[in-house]
Amino acid sequence: MKDAKVIELEEVAIRFSGDSGDGMQLTGTLFSDATALIGNDISTFPDYPSEIRAPQGTVGGVSGFQVQFGQKQVTTPGDYAHVLVAMNPAAVKANARFMNAGGTIIYDSDSFTEKNLNKAGFKTDDPFSECNLDDYRKIAVPVTSMTRESLKDFGLDNKSILRSKNMFALGLVCWMFNRPLEYIEEFIRNKFAKKPVVVDSNIKVLHAGYNYGMNMQHMTPTYMVHPAEIEQGTYRNVNGNYATAWGFIAAAEKAGLELFLGSYPITPATDILSALSERKDLGVKTFQAEDEIAGITSAIGAAFAGDLAITTTSGPGLALKSEAIGLAVMAELPIVIVNVQRGGPSTGLPTKTEQSDLMQALYGRNGESPVVILAASSPSDCFFYAFKAAKIALERMVPVILLTDGFLGNGSEPWKIPKMEELPPITPRIAKDADAFKAYKRDENLLARDWAFPGMAGFEHRIGGLEKNIAGTVSHDPENHQMNCQIREDKVQKVVDLVPDLEVCGDDDGDVLVVGWGGTYGHLISTVRELRKEGKNVSLAHFNYIKPLPKNTEEVFRKFKKIIVCELNLGQFASYLRDKMPGFEYHQINKVKGLPFTVNELKEGIYKLLEE
């Protein structure tokens, strides 16, 4: 501590929370972006209500945004918040369990009325005691009335004034954590360039919140979190959906192809469609279809026509696309299907995260219908796995499913923007010799057929869902069908030569190997690091390649006494491993609450299994 009023921290987690109309997502995003620009490493977790518009002031309508930032590598948005910004009583009730012991609660005292307390389901006029928050620092700030006072000369109606109160909270927190306001001001000017009164009012309230913080120094100190030591380069803060979109744009450029997206909007995947629809300047073609089936079949048509073709969806949409995925398998066309997983079944928890579509991705089609399956681990590496999925599809003439999830898609972190020359080449299997061309003549080693599309003279052939022989003629021969089913499976398995070996974080052998896949990486690596600091012989093996599995998987597993598979479902990857890697005793830690793991609950689960 350099000064009585300045406390230095290595890392801190802040949670912004209020009604879904209070602008908490924008507030959290702007604070995160400003923090990333300073040079802190960050990880974010937007937490939306599942209902489109839950009753105002109720716990069901609470929208939250948590960001953890620090001066070292940050891999999770934090188990618990050090600071909660609560815009109403419901936000306190919804987030009490997510507070760090002894944390700080900044709340809009104007909103803590009897009416709002009743809406939130409190039985007394002391919501903090009811939520067991007596030992927390509580700072009452009249956010609503201070916002009104700031804008009294602007001639705005009450609704417009209240829309700006999130800027007051943002300004206050920026003062507390020494965040500059320049980036936020620039964002406001650009976003509302055609509405000068909105620009001026929001900036005025932002500074009012900042100045209020300066005037309340006697109530709370300011905090200093120094920039992280990160590799030099050009960075931007990016969420998983935007990183996915840019991964496909980069892949199309590397492959020398046009990019086509056929998609139907669905939470939480819609931002990929939105991001790509903005890039017509880069030759991207997007088609917002009338339904999921039209989305994927348009992409199949684009793949037949010679484009890098993709379609995006979430769990319910993947179910609707299943027949068409089978068509892509039979036609052996290169297409990438992105599934941003969410809570299910059915409509389930559309704004919450889950990993429960793995079995659907592996087996959710009729017939023997194998596809390659990849899973991204963090918001920024969604870029790499989108790129890799496109590379595999185009070079091996096979459909690829890329699994992300709501936590990755909406969460963000700093991303070092790669240079195009740093990315590997992509060489599509475009047919060249018309005299030797047969639609299903294959490379002897890879089993991939060549890609011929309309307009290529001499390469005309039939396409469709019926089984074909080598020349592309419809065939009902049982021996031919048996052979082709085996070839299509073997072709997927031969993709293993594009899959890097499974790496172990920790020791190469030992007592416990923690196993995970996809978006649980940040929480698992944090857990393993903490356990190792406590002297436990624990290592991590995290999977990004699901089908085919890395070729050294069995070799890695054999070096550990216990294998603990952790996933946000009831044990789908564990079941898959029991099938593909038998002979090991697999233990499980599972969670299906629409929320990511916390490091604490993972540690407790692993400790319990260690004791057994």
Has residue 1 been placed in a domain? no
pLDDT at 232: 82
Question: In sequence order, which residues have a C-beta less than 8 Å from that of residue 382 and are 6 or more positions away?
Answer: 240, 241, 243, 244, 247, 376, 404, 408, 409
Mean pLDDT value across the chain? 94
Geometric angle at alpha carbon 503, from 500 and 508, rounded to 5°:
145
Contact 205, 151 (CB under 8 A): yes
Q: Pull the structure tokens for residue 139.
A: 């700072």
* Number of neighbours of residue 123 by Cβ within 10 angstroms: 9
Instruction: Place 21 in a pLDDT band, splitting at 50, 70 and 90.
Output: confident
Find the mean pLDDT for residues 398-405: 98
Has residue 169 been placed in a domain? yes
> Which of 498, 524, 554 is at the close of a domain?
498
Q: Are residues 377 and 261 in the same domain?
A: yes
Task: Count H helices and E strands in the chain, helices first.
Answer: 22, 22
pLDDT at 223: 79
Per cent of the chain over pLDDT 70 is 98
Has residue 358 been placed in a domain? yes
Q: Pull the structure tokens for residue 565.
A: 């598979």
Q: Work out how many domains the chain is built from and give that number.
A: 3
Q: Scanning the structure block, which residue is given the tokens 């002297």?
A: 535
Element at 238 (helix H, strand E): strand 235-239
Q: Is the pLDDT of residue 506 over 50?
A: yes
Phi, psi of 318 (to 5 degrees): -65, -35
Geometric angle at alpha carbon 345, from 342 and 347, rounded to 5°:
70
Contact 151, 133 (CB under 8 A): no
Q: Pull the structure tokens for residue 279.
A: 């890039």
Q: Check whether the bond before 548 is cis (ω within 30° of 0).
A: yes
Per cent of the chain over pLDDT 90 is 89
Q: Scanning the structure block, which residue is given the tokens 């599309």?
A: 453
Q: What is the CATH number of the domain that holds 548?
A: 3.40.50.920
Whole-model pTM over 0.85: yes
* Number of neighbours of residue 196 by Cβ within 10 angstroms: 10
Find the mean pLDDT for residues 260-283: 97
Find the mean pLDDT for residues 5-13: 81
* CA pair distance 23, 25, nearest whole angstrom: 6
Q: Are residues 435 and 581 in the same domain?
A: no
* Number of neighbours of residue 507 by Cβ within 10 angstroms: 14
Q: What are the DSSP E strand ranges found in 48-94?
A: 62-70, 81-86
Q: Are residues 316 and 200 in the same domain?
A: no
Instruction: Place 220 in a pLDDT band, splitting at 50, 70 and 90.
Output: low
Q: Is the pLDDT of residue 150 over 90?
A: yes
Q: Pull the structure tokens for residue 571.
A: 């044990």
> Which of 189, 224, 259 is at the close of a domain?
224
Q: What is the CATH number of the domain that holds 187?
A: 3.40.920.10
Instruction: Place 1 in a pLDDT band, splitting at 50, 70 and 90.
Output: very low
* CA pair distance 364, 362, nearest whole angstrom: 6
Q: Are residues 510 and 487 in the same domain?
A: no
Has residue 240 been placed in a domain? yes
pLDDT at 106: 94
pLDDT at 10: 87
> Which of 498, 530, 547 is at the close of a domain?
498
Q: Are residues 485 and 522 in the same domain?
A: no
Q: Are residues 114 and 60 in the same domain?
A: yes
Q: Dump pLDDT digits (tens) for 562-587.
A: 999 999 999 999 999 999 999 999 99
Q: Dump pLDDT digits (tens) for 310-346.
A: 999 999 999 999 999 999 999 999 999 999 999 999 9
* CA pair distance 93, 247, nearest whole angstrom: 40
Q: Are residues 219 and 243 in the same domain?
A: no
Q: Are residues 403 and 491 in the same domain?
A: yes
Has residue 301 been placed in a domain? yes
Has residue 587 been placed in a domain? yes
Q: What is the CATH number of the domain that holds 422?
A: 3.40.50.970
List the alpha helices (DSSP H) in 334-477: 358-363, 382-396, 406-410
Q: Which domain holds residue 522?
A: 504-611
Instruction: Place 9 in a pLDDT band, splitting at 50, 70 and 90.
Output: confident
pLDDT at 218: 54
* CA pair distance 402, 447, nearest whole angstrom: 22
Q: Is the pLDDT of residue 8 over 90?
A: no
Find the mean pLDDT for residues 263-291: 97
Q: Dump pLDDT digits (tens) for 30-89.
A: 999 999 988 899 999 999 887 766 788 899 899 999 999 998 889 999 999 999 999 999
Q: Are residues 156 and 28 in the same domain?
A: yes
Q: Is the pLDDT of residue 19 over 70?
A: yes
Instruction: Place 5 in a pLDDT band, splitting at 50, 70 and 90.
Output: low
pLDDT at 52: 66
Please tell me the total number of residues recorded for the chain in this structure. Answer: 612
Q: Are residues 73 and 216 in the same domain?
A: yes
Q: Dump pLDDT digits (tens) for 356-397.
A: 999 999 999 999 999 999 999 999 999 999 999 999 999 999
Q: Is the pLDDT of residue 4 over 60?
A: no
Find the mean pLDDT for residues 452-468: 94
Q: Is the pLDDT of residue 219 over 70?
A: no
Has residue 170 been placed in a domain? yes
* CA pair distance 30, 1, nearest whole angstrom: 28
Candidates 153, 86, 589; CA nearest to 355 is 589
Q: Is the pLDDT of residue 144 over 90?
A: yes
Has residue 91 been placed in a domain? yes
Higher pLDDT residue, 559 or 10?
559
Q: Are residues 466 and 532 in the same domain?
A: no
By the 10 Å C-beta count (0-12 exposed, 13-18 middle, 19+ buried), 422 is classed as exposed
DSSP class of 379: T
Contact 242, 311 (CB under 8 A): no
Q: Are residues 518 and 441 in the same domain?
A: no
